[in-house]
A = this chain, B = another copy of it.
Amino acid sequence: MTDHAKPTRASADDPIVRIVDDDPSMRRALTNLFQSVGLGVEAFGSAAEVMDAKPPAVPSCLVLDIRLPGSSGLDLQADLAKANIHTPIIFITGHGDIPMTVRAMKSGAVDFLTKPVRDQDMLDAVQAAIERDRKRRDEEKSVSGVRSRFESLSARQRDILSLVTAGLMNKQVAAELGLAEITVKIYRGQIMRKMGAKSLADLVRMTEALGIPRTKGHLQT
């Protein structure tokens, strides 16, 4: 039961705030607050509902009561992390303590607000959270294109890629792999085309973004 309330037609990049609270009046109050500033809202009554729902495709954040039926907010945070879902989280609590707060913040929470929550504090926190998610998504998107192109490389092409971006000359790569230099040159061309790199500098930056293990890396003091 998602008190799905959409004020206007949501466009592709409108952020969504997802509220998880077992108290209906709290859900309603928060929903009103966020809608009043033009934010999209989805409300849930339990942790399980959120885990079942698919994460939104637009910048979003979670507003989470620590005390939830079944698993606690902290458990949900841990579960989401395990499921590799990185939506920024804002906690609210009526009876929180410091160890709880520390644990939540260490696990990457954006904020941890105590009831009664001042509207402005909540809106500030949400804005920061949305912004963080937007950045993460942008980063993810730009890397995912590169990653999928990398996946399309054959094993041999990857071998050569890693040696080439390590700074070895074609002949050195050839020696390393027991190949003829001409073979390396040809692979190199294939790699540049497949990766869509228009220069070696590009290629190096792509591998850096992907975190490709460098066979022979340095950067000495």
Quick check: which of A80-88, A98-106, A181-189 contacts chain B, the rest being far away? A98-106
Give every chain B residue within 8 A of A164 (Cβ-Cβ). 201
Quick check: which of A2-10, A32-40, A141-149 contacts chain B, the rest being far away? A141-149
Most B C-beta atoms less than 10 A away, residue of A97, A105, A146:
A105
Number of copies of this protein chain within its complex: 2
Query: Nearest Cβ in chain B — how far from A122, in angstroms?
Result: 13
Give every chain B residue within 8 A of A176 (Cβ-Cβ). none
Number of A residues with CB within 8 Å of any CB on chain B: 36
Query: Nearest Cβ in chain B — how far from A11, in angstroms?
Result: 19
Query: Nearest Cβ in chain B — how far from A35, in angstroms?
Result: 26
Instruction: List CB contacts (< 8 Å) of A180-207 with chain B.
Output: 196, 198-202, 204-206
Give every chain B residue within 8 A of A168 (Cβ-Cβ). 199
Q: Known contacts A201-B200, A208-B208: does B99 contact A114 (CB below 8 Å)?
A: yes
Give me 14 A-to-B residue pairs in the complex whose CB atoms sit less than 8 angstroms apart, sorted by A's number.
A97-B98, A98-B98, A98-B101, A101-B101, A101-B102, A105-B105, A141-B221, A142-B220, A145-B220, A167-B199, A196-B220, A200-B204, A202-B219, A204-B205
New A-B contacts (5) at CB < 8 Å, excluding given A102-B112, A142-B220, A146-B219? A93-B98, A142-B221, A165-B201, A167-B199, A200-B201
Residues of A within 8 A of B (CB): 93, 96-99, 101-102, 105-106, 111-112, 114, 141-142, 145-146, 164-168, 196, 198-202, 204-206, 208-209, 218-221
